[in-house]
Amino acid sequence: MKTKFFVGLAVLFLTVNCGPKLDSENASKVVKTTFHLTEKDKVEITGIAKETNDVMLVKFQINGTEVNSKIRKYDKGWQLDEVQNKLGGWIPTATVSNQFDSTEKMKIAQKEIELMGMALTDYITDHGKFSFGPADNFNREGEIYKALCPLYVKSLPTTDPWGKPYHVLCGKSIAGQSYGMANGGADDFLIMSFGRSGKLEDWVYDPKNENAGLYDGYDPDKNIVYLNGSFIRAPKTWGTFIAK
DSSP 244: -
pLDDT tops 60 at residue 7: no
- Identify which of 110, 114, 117, 170 has the alpha carbon closest to the alpha carbon of residue 142: 170
Q: What is the CA radius of gyration of the chain?
A: 25
CB 183 within 8 A of CB 84: no
Higher local confidence (pLDDT), 88 or 12: 88
Domain boundaries, given as residue ranges, for the chain: 18-97, 102-238
The pTM (predicted TM-score) of the whole model is 0.71
pLDDT on residue 184? 87
pLDDT tops 80 at residue 13: no
pLDDT digits (tens, 9 = 90+) for 185-203: 999 999 999 998 899 999 9
pLDDT tops 50 at residue 55: yes
DSSP characters over 93-159: GGGTGGGG-HHHHHHHHHHHHHHHHHHHHHHHHHHSS----S--B-STTSHHHHHHTTTTSS---SB
pLDDT on residue 37? 83
Average per-residue pLDDT for the chain? 87
pLDDT tops 50 at residue 237: yes
pLDDT tops 90 at residue 143: yes
* Max Cα distance, the chain (Å): 95
Distance, CA of 204 to CA of 226 (rounded, Å): 14
- Identify which of 13, 234, 214 has the alpha carbon closest to the alpha carbon of residue 113: 234
For residue 10, name the pLDDT band (cuts at 50, 70, 90). very low
**CATH hierarchy code of domain 102-238:** 3.30.700
CATH topology of domain 18-97: Nuclear Transport Factor 2; Chain: A, (3.10.450)
